[in-house]
Amino acid sequence: MKEVRIAPIKNGTVIDHIKPGKALKVLDLLGIDGEERMALSLAMYAHSKKAGSKDLVKIEEKELKVDEVNRLAILTPNASISIIRDFQVVRKFNVAPPEVLEGIVKCENINCITNQNEPVPSRLIMTRKDPRTYKCHYCGRLQSDIEKNII
Amino acid sequence: MLKGKDIVAINDLSQDEIERILNKAREMVPIARAEKKSRLLEGRILASFFFEPSTRTRLSFETAMQRLGGSVITVTGQEGTSIIKGETLADTVRMAECFSDIIVLRHPREGAARLAAGFSNIPVINGGDGAGQHPTQTLLDLFTIKEEFNDISKLHVTIAGDLKYGRTTHSLSVALSRMGASLSFVAPPTIQMPDHILDEISGMGADHELSSDLMGCIPKTDVLYMTRIQKERFPDFEEYIKVAGAFRLDLDMLENAKKGMIVMHPLPRVDEVHPDIDPTEHARYFQQAFNGVPVRMALLSLILEGDI
């Protein structure tokens, strides 16, 4: 497969090693829908030496914060984040799954009070790291498929 | 200290707090029987919000409050309340706290009591939330067991019937595991104990087994906890028909039971415990129902007045 190249960015954030096919969902999870008028580059199913293929997102002129990107771990746990200033990587880190998912993933229990018209965000608490397990703070249900219930 | 505390799930209580409640309940028995009078909670008001049918839990909470000299305001069902007009539970509890000192809530949705406790400035007691938790039932179950056998850690408890939808069995299993009892869960595979409860029990290292053989479990059992197969919890009526009546306890089945074994049931029963068992030394379910009063008296007094 021919390597896909995206031009380097001067300032901003590069999200690399995204699970193939998830780049659009990554943008969605970050709340980026095009209305922000940010310059974005995006590659899907690009060649990766490590994983065979991957997605990649470059966001210009915006440095994402740790809290903002950690939620990506529920979608693509191996993603790495690079903060770019003047074409140089000034900081690089991997996403880490948050201990609490608030308002990001709905409880899978359809009878949970948070799936009604109540003024509270969903709240899932990590109860185990390996395998990663979340439990609803309200109804106590262990969640079997976090990704499926991303809001 | 229990003063001002919300009681949403049995895990909200430490072992010491559970012991404190059970000891207090023992002191409350003569008042619950009207052999002694108390004005301990005079001037206090309990808001009893039951948005789902209940007889025992509601009546025993209301009796408990009144036996201690307090009074009760009650809402039963959703009709006649602003919920039917679309009011959120969050607003309902904030309204209730204007009129009362403590709220007891039964609600058809899981997590409702946790949400209510988050919005209310007065204590909230969970009176059962959907197929979720029912901590005061667990406390009265533990009280009933403790009155019979002092050391719960040496007991083998068999819990049978509807373990998937029966919320009383979830809280009880967790509490008994914490106290070191060994457990048999006896149910048809379609209504066995849910994974999240088994996961919690395994996490505590409790000795437990899954079975569908009630007869086989009886000889080793100290406490046999029977539950009703609840029609209203089944989304599919055909599934209910299939499993209903699969677990019926009759006198013959107790032939190989230990002499001191007790049979408990949260009531109401349909036909899962035959009335022939009622006069035997094994039956404890009516005693268990009575125990709801002193246990809830203990809880109300400790939450409202503290450790007096």
- Between strands B45-50 and A133-136, the pairing is unpaired
Query: Nearest-CA distance from A101 to chain B in Å?
Result: 17
For residues B142 and B152, is the Cβ–Cβ distance under 8 A? yes
Q: What is the pLDDT of residues B128-139, one digit of tens each?
A: 998 888 999 999
Q: Which residue has the higher pLDDT, B243 or B87?
A: B87
Of all residues in chain A, the one with the smallest CA distance to B131 is: A111
Q: How far apart are CA A134 and CA A100, in angstroms?
A: 8
Are B227 and B169 within 8 A, CB to CB?
yes
How much is the pLDDT for B236?
Answer: 79
pLDDT score, position B77: 73
Q: Read off the pLDDT of residues B275-294 as tens digits, 9 standing for 90 and up.
A: 999 999 999 999 999 999 99
Q: Give the residue from B137, B206, B217 showing the smallest Cα distance to B176.
A: B206
Q: What percent of chain B has pLDDT over 90?
A: 73
pLDDT of residue B245: 64
Q: What is the separation of C-alpha B258 from the centre of its chain, rounded to a whole number of angstroms?
A: 25
In a 13 Å sphere around the CA of B6, the CA atoms on its Cβ side amount to 16
Which range (A98-102, B147-151, B240-244) has the least confidence? B240-244
Per-residue pLDDT at B237:
82
Percent of chain A with pLDDT over 90: 57
Q: Which has the minimum average pLDDT: A127-136, B14-23, B101-110, B239-248?
A: B239-248
Mutation choice for A interface testing from B51, B52, B110, B198 by most A CBs within 10 A:
B110
**Which residues of chain A make contact with B128, given a CB cutoff of 8 A?**
none
Across residues B51-64, what is the average pLDDT? 92
Domain B10-133+292-305: which CATH class? alpha beta
Start-end of CATH 3.40.50.1370 domains in chain B: 10-133+292-305, 135-288
Q: What pLDDT was estimated at residue A4? A: 56
Specify the pairing of strand A52-60 against strand A80-85: unpaired
Q: What is the mean pLDDT of residues B50-79?
A: 90
CA distance A80 to A94: 4
Question: DSSP characters for A6-36?
Answer: -PPPSSEEEEEEEPTT-HHHHHHHTT--STT
What are the pLDDT digits (tens) for B164-180? 877 789 889 999 999 99
A119 with B88: Cβ contact below 8 A: yes
Q: Helices (DSSP H) in B181-284: which residue ranges?
A: 195-203, 214-217, 237-243
Check B90 against A111: CB less than 8 A apart: no
Segment among A72-76, A109-113, B96-100, B244-248 with least mean pLDDT? B244-248
Structure token pair of residue A36: 């922000």
* Whole-number average pLDDT of chain A: 90
Contact B110 A141 (CB under 8 A): yes
Mean pLDDT of A30-47: 89
Of B89, B111, B131, the CB nearest to A136: B111
Mean pLDDT of all residues in A88-112: 93
The pLDDT of residue B79 is 63
Cα atoms in the 13 Å half-sphere on the side-chain side of B219: 2
- Asked if the model's pLDDT at residue A52 lies above 60, the reply is yes
pLDDT at A111 > cutoff 90? yes
Instruction: Show the tokens assigned to B283.
Output: 């039956």
The CATH number of domain B135-288, selected from 3.40.50.1370, 3.30.470.20, 3.90.226.30, 3.40.50.40: 3.40.50.1370
- Which residues of B belong to the active site? 56-57, 85, 106, 134
Residue A33: the pLDDT is: 86
In the predicted model, what is the mean pLDDT of chain B?
91
Shortest distance, CA B55 to any CA of chain A (angstroms): 23
What confidence category does residue B126 fall into, taking pLDDT thresholds of 50, 70 and 90? Answer: very high
- pLDDT category, B82, cuts 50, 70, 90? low
Residues above pLDDT 70, as percent of chain B: 95
CA-based angle A47:A9:A55, to the nearest 5?
A: 25
